[in-house]
Structure 1
């Protein structure tokens, strides 16, 4: 789809626009998006045809995306690239997280990705996030939509929590392998292959690689992301070092309010 066609398509809409973040966002189908991203989303919606064997990793930004990509790649390619072998592709080249940790990670990320923009104050960013006004927001709507689909199609959607992957990484890797229809064999488990996958894809391993510490990734004319920004701390509960208890309660209250009745038990499962 050509750029001119995309702009013509966008011209059919009168989209609400709001400032406050580094760049104004537009509201498209109940989600706040960077206009530059929207120009790519529309062609994908029109022309993307998924295959039955496609694997789609869906995470909110800064919620373990890079880690999940590495784990998935290592699991599905282990027949050709043994995790314990030298020269693994992950070493030579190229889930929902709790709302409070997700917000803190996202705030750090946004303040470093826009060239020439003034930093966004933490309090202002939190207020907008709690309103549901944030890039790709509202955060909770993503989680609830995928949770609904997971209940409807459990064989097609695997719902993972970042905190569970951190606390029990080997079990999470086995769960992923089973979901991808490439479960670990008894022989592989005896050779501790799941543990090797965890070691290969650990935060310390990936963040320490030279090609993940230097260089930039361009995302449009005004967005440049340093590769090191994809790895901050990778810790659960770091929000307590950035956010007061009152701020944390404010965000918790928003999540519970958005759940409304039947969704309360689901949110407790997701975020509790």
Structure 2
């Protein structure tokens, strides 16, 4: 395989693959015909990555993304949780599920105690449109809560034009990269390829070739929309949740139109949700120790450390310098920056 630092050259010379080679259905082949050719990159995570509309997708996810783009119809009461992989997705799912459904269940019989958060808040592209090209979503009680790693730029127009609520959780690039690298090497599909080295993974990340990436374009899509439509798109930072989860959970509830009452505050409802959804609580539940809710990964691989600043144990000073410079270039004039978010420690 070509060296990762020759990625730009590889991208320009690697031929695009036809939809038949990708394995898309006839209907998706027709959708594919109207979109730009995809560039294929070999042996990245466990499957080839294909570039689609400026973003990278694992081969087996392309069809689900296309079906979702073409067929999903948003309702104004829908809640969509958006993240890049390894940015606190499981935590965000549990927090929002518990908050939205807090009047339905007591804390002793909450479904989070017996079901994985990814069962309760399904992904569009990893579950709903993978299991069924046209899933029946009409029987889901409102508000419907979904999740996605798909960039804002690629969301269906019905979603962009609706009054649904979108919550985006952003994690600093250093910790996102390190967590992603560890996660990749836990994949059962890496066994035949061998572990991915930190150095090679870093090159891919800096070149923007990650699932659902580039990292910076993914962030900017949701960030810019949160500035344009703050009532519909809430941009959160993982590090701020770690620093003051109570105030951030209040912010989430207010945004979703279900603010915590004074009585709930006195009863400690917020603190109970925080406890129920804490990293340690979720990780120690039996349902999250076994099974496989994300293809290729055991459920326990979703819980590693959940800390801010773990990058300090792995990245060299030259790596940090390069990544910081890259972020400054890619995010320039956006108002989005990460200074002060790299060493924040939970209280």
Q: TM-score, normalised by structure 1?
A: 0.92
In the other structure, the counterpart of 1:155 is 231
Structure 1: state its 5+ residue gaps: none
Map 1:131-150 to 2 at 5 A.
Answer: 131-150=207-226
In the other structure, the counterpart of 2:84 is 60
Q: Deviations over 1:72-96 (max 9, x none)?
A: 00000001113xx312210022311
Instruction: Considering fraction of residues, name the structure with more helix.
Output: 1
* SS of corresponding position for 1:33: strand
Q: Moved runs in structure 1, 4+ residues, more than 4 A?
A: 268-272
Match of 1:97 among 167, 171, 180: 171
- Hey, what's the Cα distance between the residues in 1 that align with 2:289 and 2:320? 31
Structure 2: state its 5+ residue gaps: 1-23, 117-168, 343-347
Aligned 8 A contact 1:7 1:39 in 2: no
Aligned 8 A contact 1:101 1:236 in 2: yes
In the other structure, the counterpart of 1:242 is 314
In the other structure, the counterpart of 2:303 is 231
- Quick one: structure 1 residues 20 and 250, their matched pair in 2 at CA, closer, same or farther if it must change by over 3 Å? farther
Map 1:26-65 to 2 at 5 A.
Answer: 26-65=50-89
Task: Confirm or deny that 1:178 pairs with 2:258.
Answer: no
Task: Confirm or deny that 1:19 pairs with 2:42.
Answer: yes
* SS of corresponding position for 2:306: coil
- Quick one: structure 1 residues 26 and 270, their matched pair in 2 at CA, closer, same or farther if it must change by over 3 Å? farther
Task: Confirm or deny that 1:193 pairs with 2:269.
Answer: yes
In the other structure, the counterpart of 2:28 is 6
Q: TM-score, normalised by structure 2?
A: 0.72
Q: How many residues align?
A: 263
- Quick one: structure 1 residues 255 and 118, their matched pair in 2 at CA, closer, same or farther if it must change by over 3 Å? same
1:218 CA displacement: 5.3
- Hey, what's the Cα distance between the residues in 2 that align with 1:156 and 1:102? 25
Task: Confirm or deny that 1:112 pairs with 2:182.
Answer: no
Q: Deviations over 1:18-67 (max 9, x none)?
A: 22413221111110111211111011111111110000000110100000
- Hey, what's the Cα distance between the residues in 2 that align with 1:39 and 1:150? 28
- Hey, what's the Cα distance between the residues in 2 that align with 1:178 and 1:266? 23
- Hey, what's the Cα distance between the residues in 1 that align with 2:90 and 2:71? 26
1:271 CA displacement: 5.4
Q: Deviations over 1:85-133 (max 9, x none)?
A: 3122100223111000000111111122242332111101101100111
Task: Confirm or deny that 1:128 pairs with 2:204.
Answer: yes
1:247 CA displacement: 1.1
Task: Confirm or deny that 1:79 pairs with 2:149.
Answer: no
- Hey, what's the Cα distance between the residues in 1 that align with 2:32 and 2:188? 24
Aligned 8 A contact 1:215 1:226 in 2: yes
In the other structure, the counterpart of 2:292 is 216
